[in-house]
Structure 1
Amino acid sequence: MMKNSILLQNLSVEDLERLIGTTVKKSVAELQKELESKKFTEELLTREQTCEFLKINSSTLWSYTVKGKLKAYGIGARRYYKRSELLDCLTLLKK
């Protein structure tokens, strides 16, 4: 038994246009939210921002970077970390 079925033979052209329009608007809104969230996660963080984000000190950040737990990107003497990669590095702890 289909709960979300539509009978097109009893549907006017205007009703069909409204139904399609509503569905498209909802899909576009969901896509925009997804793209905005991805844009936010690709943000580059400085060392200070990364320490604040992870609630660690700079020596711990340096240690994680040297051990390869975190990837650092550099321009000159500056180091940056991608927010998305920081989130990916987090692991679930077993209870």
Structure 2
Amino acid sequence: MSMKTIQFLQTSPEQLADLISIGVKTELQQLKEELLNKNANDEILTREQTAELLSIDPSTLWSWTNKGKIKAYGISGSRRYYKRSEIMQALKQLKK
């Protein structure tokens, strides 16, 4: 029998309820922080803003978008928009 099983068997229902409550509260707090951070970074950028952020030529941005290195979003016609959070994530992936 593993140590965790022994600990579980020696835990009262009240203690177990408290442990579950603490675990759920902790997970919810972490999720809340992640969502707040994600929403803060989900600024929508134009092609020009994105190219400037990356210090690249707009033609390079176009090429990266077409190759799938960076995801673009469109509303109408040929307008493309980018999410700051996804741009930053793409940069982190390139570092690895």
Q: TM-score range by the shorter chain?
A: 0.5 to 0.7
Decide which structure has greater strand share.
1
Specify which of 59, 64, 71 is matched with residue 62 of structure 1.
59
Instruction: Indicate the larger mover: 25-34 or 40-49.
Output: 40-49
The CA RMSD measured in Å over matched residues stands at: 3.6
Shift of 1:40: 4.4
Aligned match of 2:74:
73
TM-score (structure 2 length as normaliser):
0.55
Structure 1: how far apart are the matches of 2:12 and 2:4?
Answer: 17
Aligned to 2:51: 51
Higher helix share: 2
Alignment of 1:79-90 (within 5 A): 79-87=80-88, 89-90=90-91
With structure 1 as the length reference, what TM-score do the two structures score?
Answer: 0.55
Question: Which stretches in structure 2 are left out of the alignment for 5+ residues?
Answer: none
Deviation at 1:12, TM superposition (A): 5.6
Report % sequence identity: 40
- Take 1:5 and 1:42, find their aligned partners in 2: how far apart are those partners? 46
